[in-house]
Copies of this chain bind each other. A is one copy, B any other.
Amino acid sequence: MTGTWHEQLRARGYRVTPQRQLVLEAVSRLGHATPEEICGRVQETARGVNISTVYRTLELLEELGMVTHTHLGHGAPTYHLASEADHVHLVCRGCGEITEVGPELVEGLVSRLEADLGFGTDVRHLTVFGRCRNCRP
């Protein structure tokens, strides 16, 4: 986290473009958004933006550590600002509801994987499927 994201881009030889600003802004405002949803949002401001640009930008922003993605269901992945993504997702197979829980819930698991196997968990990518209170048999 050194400098603004404009500086982060330039420092690595990338350029600041309107498209990139808009995609980052859309990820920030939408949260849990698929590439298609992000593209829709961006196009509200700049009509011509193509979905392939959105994909390329998301890949870049993820590489820079500004956004992350998770798979919450069968279809497209969803994107988050990395700075707001420090949580685990619960997905209910019954009603589809998505709940975010703090990372402390998996602290035990994470430290056991670390201690027993030397495995470093990507907590932000973790999604737990199951059934919520209301949808249980």
Give the B-binding residues of A (Cβ under 8 A): 71, 90, 92-93, 99, 101, 105-106, 108-109, 112-113, 116-122, 125-126, 128-133, 136
Measured between beta carbons, the chain B residues less than 8 angstroms from A132 are 117-119
Question: Contact between B136 and A117 (Cβ–Cβ < 8 Å)?
Answer: no
In the complex, the answer to whether B113 meets A136 with C-beta atoms within 8 Å is: no
Choose one: B109, B118, B122; the contact of A105 (CB below 8 Å): B109
Please give me the 4 A-B residue pairs with the lowest Cβ-Cβ distance, nearest first: A118-B133, A121-B130, A108-B108, A120-B131
Q: Determine which of B92, B93, B113, B129 lies in contact with A90 in the assembled complex, contact meaning CB atoms within 8 Å.
A: B113
| Identical subunits present | 2
Kindly provide the distance from the CB of A60 to the nearest chain B CB, expressed in whole angstroms. 17
Using A90-B117, A117-B133, A132-B117 as known contacts, say yes or no to A112 and B122 having CB atoms under 8 A apart: no
Contact assessment for B112 and A136 in the assembled complex, using a CB-CB cutoff below 8 Å? no
A33 to B: closest C-beta gap in Å: 18
Provide the residues of chain B in CB contact with A71, threshold 8 Å: 71
Q: How far is the CB of A115 from chain B (nearest CB, A)?
A: 11
